[in-house]
Amino acid sequence: MDARVTNEVNYRAATLDRVPAAAPRDKIVDVSVENVVRLFGVTPALHGVSLDIAAGELVALLGPSGSGKTTLLRILAGLDLPTSGRVLFDGEDALKLTVQERNVGLVFQNYALFRHMTVLENIGFGLRVRPHDRRPSRKEIKRRALELLDFIQLSGLEKRFPSQLSGGQRQRVAFARALAIEPRLLLLDEPFGALDAKVRRDLRRWLREIHDKTGHTTVFVTHDQEEALELADRVVVMSDGKIHQIGTPDQIYDEPNSPFVFSFIGESSMLPVKVEQGKVWIDEQALDIPAKDVPAGPARLYFRPQDVEVSDELHGVIPAEILAFRRHGGSRRIDLEVGGRNRIEIELPADFSHNLSGWIGVRPRRYRLFPAAVEASAS
């Protein structure tokens, strides 16, 4: 195993016993975002976004590029101002506070370390630039920086410069610098995006464990759904400057409330269908699944590849022609064509014994139906 990866794994386990004490309640905040709009010229980046974050909560802002998640994070940090709307920290108007008065810890994807400063100087920077009446002594700043250096398991590297560190080490220094100011709110902008996959997985698990012990109110931006679902208490799914859904990772994955959320979170298949007389129809054949509360008319049927059962019987199920199959870890992925025009993918146990050619019947066990008009309006 690569030595750097090994060090990252060992680091995560070794530091848990040296985590600083949980942040005092008066050091963390409830955050309320109320109907925030942000325009760049005439182009809207945020459309009336509202969000409440409880003190000590870890919330992920998840969405594709251009969804508005980084704009919202910058407004929370005080690096940008909304065109309209309010941001409250414990009921106080945060828009009237400077960046320093907000006392926000920031961690960026590109580390944002000062290249001309040593590791120790970078960690203590936020304390050194405080107003004189709030600035600790030089001795206290050094003590706190060394304590955090030990906490991130980089003791002995205090005199090195960022260029002499690995990517994972730089991100740990950036995290220590954010914690040094004892922030009321910790903001992370794609914090692991520049790291390789193995280091990224290990550090995000470590971050979740650290958060559980320190209790900082934390908001992090990511486009990586796996990262959001693994780390967050709640996930805020965004697109085109709007919030589509807010919920726990289980709610977001298992109960998506729109076609966008269903297709963006996890893998999914979609088929155009119609609803008539309380039944779901595909190519003039009624399926043996209820239409629930979806009104009559064109609709879209969404389901996960693994949430299906198959049958040789084609009545009441989705008739599909097998195009290809392949091994996928402990399962088998099968590519299917429905109605000669729609491709779907299903996942079955690796020991599935059906003759993998010809036709097969597919019945979704878990699914969502959305009227076609809903999908059109969402796009």
pLDDT for position 208: 85
pLDDT for position 7: 47
pLDDT for position 200: 79
CA distance 64 to 45: 13
pLDDT for position 2: 44
CATH 3.40.50.300 segments of the chain: 3-103+182-259
Q: Which fold has domain 3-103+182-259?
A: Rossmann fold (3.40.50)
CA distance 226 to 266: 8
Q: Which residues contact 226 (CB under 8 A, 6 or more apart)?
A: none
> pLDDT tens per residue, the chain (379 residues)?
444 444 444 444 444 444 454 555 556 789 999 999 999 999 999 999 999 999 999 999 999 999 999 999 999 999 999 999 999 999 999 999 988 889 899 888 776 888 899 999 999 988 888 888 888 899 999 998 888 888 777 888 889 998 898 888 888 898 889 888 889 999 999 887 767 777 778 778 778 877 887 788 999 999 999 999 999 999 999 999 999 999 999 999 999 999 999 999 999 999 999 999 888 999 889 999 888 889 999 999 999 999 999 988 888 999 999 998 888 888 889 999 998 889 999 998 887 766 667 888 999 999 999 998 766 555 5
pLDDT for position 129: 86
pLDDT for position 312: 82
pLDDT for position 117: 92
CATH 2.40.50.140 segments of the chain: 268-378
CA 52, 58, 62, 65 dihedral sign is: positive
pLDDT for position 8: 42
Count of alpha carbons within 13 angstroms of residue 162, beta-carbon side: 18
pLDDT for position 336: 94
Q: What is the CA radius of gyration of the chain?
A: 25
pLDDT for position 12: 41
pLDDT for position 377: 55
CB 219 within 8 A of CB 236: no
Classify 268-378 by CATH class: mainly beta
Backbone φ, ψ for residue 126 (5° rounding): -60, -30
